[in-house]
Amino acid sequence: MDFIKKHKWTLLVVGSVALIGLIILLRGGGQKESALAEKDPASAMNFYMNLFSSSPGETEIDPSKVGTFEVERKDFIKKIHLEKETVCSGDDFEVRVDARDPDGHDKDLIFKVAEKIGNPVILKYYGEGTQDIVVTVRDYKRIDTKTVTVNVVKCPDRPLVYLKASPHPMRPEEGEFEVIKLEGFSGRTRFAWDFGDGSTKNTDTGYATHNYFARDQKRFHSTFTVKVTVTDEKNTSATARTTIDFPNIQWISSQMGAATIPIVYNRFPVVKDGAYTVDVNMKNIHNESLSLGDAEVEYVSCDGDRPAETRAYGAGALLSQTSIARNAVANATLTLTGGMMPKSTCNVTIKLKGSTQSGTSVNATIYLTIPVSDEDLKLKKHQVIDDPELDRKVQKAKKLLGKDFVTVDELRTLEKEGKL
């Protein structure tokens, strides 16, 4: 768990690069809205890597191992909007950038304000005095920078909320939000969340997650402003904001000719009557309908000495819904019957393939972890770690969730919520 937390940005970049590598292999026809489609795919992959190389928490990169290329200065930035020119120490404020590509490829522009990727972004400073804010807008080989200033002053005797946002370390389309500190509140507090996409939520703890997989993907990245209002027993109230940004990997892939479908699911299926089922949500980001026709399923045995087995099916044999209207979300059920799965299977990879109405190829991949049977568990008993504290948490989580099987992700969430 500590490894995931420490290296989550590295894992995100590596995963994204792996997807772009797949795109390079599969790229083909289709309508393009981005200049990236006209570039060398290997260079495009390096460009995408470098965008996130300076993200918070990322380890330093060896300059000798990073390819260099010439960057042209371009007048992208038209205006920078500061919500406030004078702000209180600890208060957040919005910075919004108006930028245009003279060549018409606005969707390729990447925004970075101070150390945050996105547009707009929410910033917050704690030291008093003048703060310089460097704004950078760039595309594949061109860049523009401008600097604005904000004056930070001390404003005592007011409640403060310290809000942190980050990509979820286990679910890449999801944001994780946590109130890490409160000042000026007393007694029990309640939290009202606004996730910036029309969704809201109320909690008794300062921790929440939200999935953004259904967002419209019309450019390189999407930014959302998240807000939490904290109220205590005396009705003292304060609000904090932050921003979270997601690279639109599926949109990028479609521009390079290999469209992938945004998809969310629980990788641990439910077992009932010998069948394994998973709720699957898929988003069609295209302006035309699509349908999935084929499925290639790889079954990996719990016995590492036995080779994996691959079988082909029609997508309709697995999914309750295989067609998705343009820009729509499909809520489907994926079912693997007992007869489909070889004995002692521990992992399953499902590759779905189809096309849009105009013939552009689309694909999606689902990874499932199959609960280990009692028979397989006996064979692997020597690999089971005896941890009484972990076992206590697992048993409590089972009771809280009303389930016979809980995942690492579910344990982590319950710990964050203070329930274990």
Closest CA to 196 of 118, 91, 250, 267: 118
Nearest to 111 by CA among 134, 87, 88: 134
* Model confidence at 335: pLDDT above 50: yes
Mean pLDDT within 219-224: 90
So what's the pLDDT on residue 383?
Answer: 54
Q: Which of 205-209, 210-214, 360-364, 381-385 has the lowest mean pLDDT?
A: 381-385
Asked which of 108-122, 233-247, 287-301, 396-410 is least confident by mean pLDDT, the reply is 396-410
Q: With contact defined as beta carbons under 8 Å apart, do 53 and 61 qualify?
A: yes
| Of the listed ranges 1-5, 151-155, 318-322, 395-399, the one predicted with least confidence | 1-5
Interval 120-146: pLDDT, tens: 999 999 889 999 999 999 987 889 999
Per-residue buried b or exposed e for 273-282, using 16+ beta carbons within 10 Å of the residue's own CB: eeebbbebeb
Question: Hey, what amino acid is at 13?
Answer: V
Where is 229: in which H helix or E strand?
A: strand 221-232
Confidence of residue 33 (pLDDT cuts 50, 70, 90): low
b (16+ CB within 10 A) / e for 222-235: bbbbbbbebbbeee
Cα R_g (the chain), whole angstroms = 24
* Residue that wins the pLDDT comparison between 376 and 391: 391
Instruction: Take residue 156 and report the two structure tokens written for it.
Output: 């005592």
Q: What is the pLDDT of residue 378?
A: 55
pLDDT confidence tier of residue 413, bands split at 50, 70 and 90: confident
Residue 252 CB contacts under 8 Å (≥ 6 apart), including other chains? 20, 23, 34, 36, 48, 220
Question: In this predicted model, what pLDDT tens digit does every residue of 51-94 receive, in sequence order?
Answer: 544 444 444 545 455 455 566 888 999 999 999 999 999 999 99
Does the model's pTM come out above 0.85? Answer: no
Q: Which of 27-31, 237-241, 385-389 shows the highest mean pLDDT?
A: 237-241
Q: What is the pLDDT of residue 47?
A: 57
Residue 250: in which H helix or E strand, if any? helix 249-255
Q: Bigger pLDDT: 13 or 141?
A: 141
Mutual orientation of helices 388-401 and 408-416 as an angle, nearest 10°?
80
Q: Which amino acid is at 255?
A: Q
Place of tokens 């950078």: 136
Amino acid at 41: P
| Region 242-269 average pLDDT | 85
Q: Is the pLDDT of residue 268 over 90?
A: no
Residue with tokens 């522009």: 109
Report whether 49 contacts 13 (CB < 8 A).
yes
Strand, helix or coil at 15?
A: helix
Return the pLDDT at 104: 84
**pLDDT digits 0-9 by tens, 341-375:** 888 888 999 999 999 999 889 999 999 988 776 56
| Cβ(44)–Cβ(36) below 8 Å | yes
HEC secondary structure over 150-216: EEEECCCCCCEEEEEEEECCCCCCEEEEEEEEEECCCCCEEEEEECCCCCEEEECCCEEEEECCCCC
Mean pLDDT for all residues in the chain? 82
Q: Look at residue 417 in the predicted model and tell me its pLDDT.
A: 80
Q: Which segment of 99-108, 223-232, 266-275, 408-417 scores lowest on mean pLDDT? A: 408-417
pLDDT of 262 strictly over 50: yes
At residue 95, the 3 state secondary structure works out as strand
Q: How far is CA 287 from CA 41, 248, 326, in A?
A: 24, 16, 5
Contacts for 136 with CB less than 8 Å, ≥ 6 apart: 111, 112, 113, 143, 144, 145
Mean pLDDT of 108-119: 91
Which residues, listed in sequence order, are joined to residue 209 by a DSSP beta bridge? Answer: 176
pLDDT value at residue 211:
94
Question: For residue 34, what pLDDT is reported?
Answer: 63
- Indicate if the pLDDT at residue 381 is higher than 60: no
CA dist 138 and 136 (Å) reads 7
Confidence (pLDDT) at 48: 52
CATH topology of domain 2-69+157-253: Immunoglobulin-like (2.60.40)
Q: How far apart are CA 354 and CA 261, in angstroms?
A: 10
Q: How many CB atoms lie within 10 A of CB 264?
A: 18
Class of the CATH domain delimited by 72-153:
mainly beta
CATH superfamily to which 261-375 belongs: Immunoglobulins (2.60.40.10)
pLDDT of residue 27: 38
CATH 2.60.40.10 spans which residues of the chain?
2-69+157-253, 72-153, 261-375
**Cα distance between residue 312 and residue 360, in whole Å:** 21
Lowest mean pLDDT among 41-50, 54-63, 298-307: 54-63
Distances (CA, A) of 13 to 52, 75, 173, 337: 7, 29, 14, 35
Which residues are within 8 A (CB) of 410 and not within 5 positions of it... i.e. 6 or more apart? 397, 401
Crossing angle of helices 41-51 and 8-26, rounded to 10°? 160
Query: What percent of the chain is predicted at pLDDT more than 70?
Result: 79
pLDDT at 19: 42
**What local confidence, expressed as pLDDT, does residue 414 receive?**
81
Decide if pLDDT at 194 tops 70. yes
